[in-house]
């Protein structure tokens, strides 16, 4: 049997992509683990059937080089599974976002993901392969301080489901993994978060920092357990939307609640009540 191949973006140390790359390797895949710099993946070089690629998914030239690298290393067969797990999460009030930072978020979470699918589509169509896009349950809720991140994930869900229909005639499956709480190195360290000096939310900066540092998150699923579930989904050739990670399914159900219920849930521990009290005292 011909060995199947998978390319995983966002495979640096501490990232979910790292756990996914290792889980695929344990299932016998030829793995292309993509990172922004080699230093963050030096240990992967010692693992059999794992190739490390330096990849910037916002660069057309970098993506083209990855396509050629995969084609060469698979003797022209090409890729079987494209696992898009490179993500960035920004925590910031919508009025305080820097425009260039906002564009970068969408360049990585949305446009970079779509660019990867487009570039690898000839290989995936030839192999009747699969695409897996890692999204977030944040797409379904309007949680304060996560507005732009949630918007990027909602856009990704729509792109994934549309691609699923558009590529179905070519027998390419598209899986969107709507992720709940999963342990990963995505949070700010204490003291790293700050607001612009003129922010109207300065009175509750500590509350927003708690969100940025992951202190308000519920119990999180271990990264290895999450990766095992995702790989199992792909081995079963599932497509459409699946909910993985702690609280993913529950949060999706709660997102259908009336606004007066959902508002209270998503605003909890976000500091909005404290801000109202502060403004009334001022």
Residues annotated catalytic, as ranges: 135, 149
Residue where the block lists tokens 């599974």: 81
Sign of the alpha-carbon torsion through 49, 173, 121, 65:
negative
- d(CA 174, CA 272) in angstroms, rounded, equals 38
- d(CA 33, CA 169) in angstroms, rounded, equals 29
For residue 32, what are the contacts with CB-CB under 8 A and spacing of at least 6?
5, 6, 7, 8, 51, 53, 66, 69, 70, 73, 79
Whether the CB-CB separation of 106 and 212 falls below 8 Å is answered with no
- d(CA 67, CA 2) in angstroms, rounded, equals 19
Sheet of 81-84: strands edge to edge? 50-54, 30-35, 5-8, 81-84, 130-136, 173-179, 240-244
Q: How do 30-35 and 81-84 pair as beta strands? A: unpaired
For residue 169, what are the contacts with CB-CB under 8 A and spacing of at least 6?
none
Q: DSSP letters along 168-197, please?
A: GGGT-EEEEEEE-BB--S-SPPTT-----T
């Amino acid at each position: 049997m011909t060995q199947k191949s998978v390319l995983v973006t966002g495979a640096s140390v501490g990232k979910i992509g790292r756990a996914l790359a290792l889980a695929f390797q344990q299932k016998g895949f030829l793995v292309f683990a993509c990172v922004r710099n080699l230093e963050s993946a030096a240990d992967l070089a010692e693992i059999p059937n794992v190739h490390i690629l330096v990849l910037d998914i916002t660069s057309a030239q970098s993506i083209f080089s990855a396509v050629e690298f995969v084609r060469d290393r698979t003797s022209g067969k090409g890729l079987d599974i494209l696992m898009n797990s490179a993500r960035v999460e920004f925590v910031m009030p919508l009025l305080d976002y820097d425009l260039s930072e906002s564009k970068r978020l969408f360049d990585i979470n949305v446009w970079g993901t779509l660019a990867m699918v487009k570039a690898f589509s000839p290989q995936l169509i030839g192999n009747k392969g699969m695409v897996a896009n890692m999204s977030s349950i944040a797409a379904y809720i309007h949680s304060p301080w996560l507005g732009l991140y949630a918007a990027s994930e909602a856009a990704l869900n729509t792109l994934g489901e549309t691609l699923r229909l558009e590529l179905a005639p070519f027998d390419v499956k598209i899986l969107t993994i709507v992720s709940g709480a999963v342990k990963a190195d995505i949070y700010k360290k204490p003291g790293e978060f700050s607001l612009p000096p003129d922010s109207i939310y300065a009175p509750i900066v500590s509350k927003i920092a708690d969100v940025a540092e992951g202190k308000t998150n519920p119990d999180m699923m271990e990264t290895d357990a999450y990766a095992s579930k995702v790989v199992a989904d792909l081995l079963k050739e599932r497509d459409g939307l699946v909910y993985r990670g702690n609280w993913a399914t529950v949060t999706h159900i709660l997102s259908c609640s009336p606004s007066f219920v959902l508002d209270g849930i998503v605003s909890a521990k976000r500091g909005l009540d404290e801000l109202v009290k502060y403004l009334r005292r001022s």
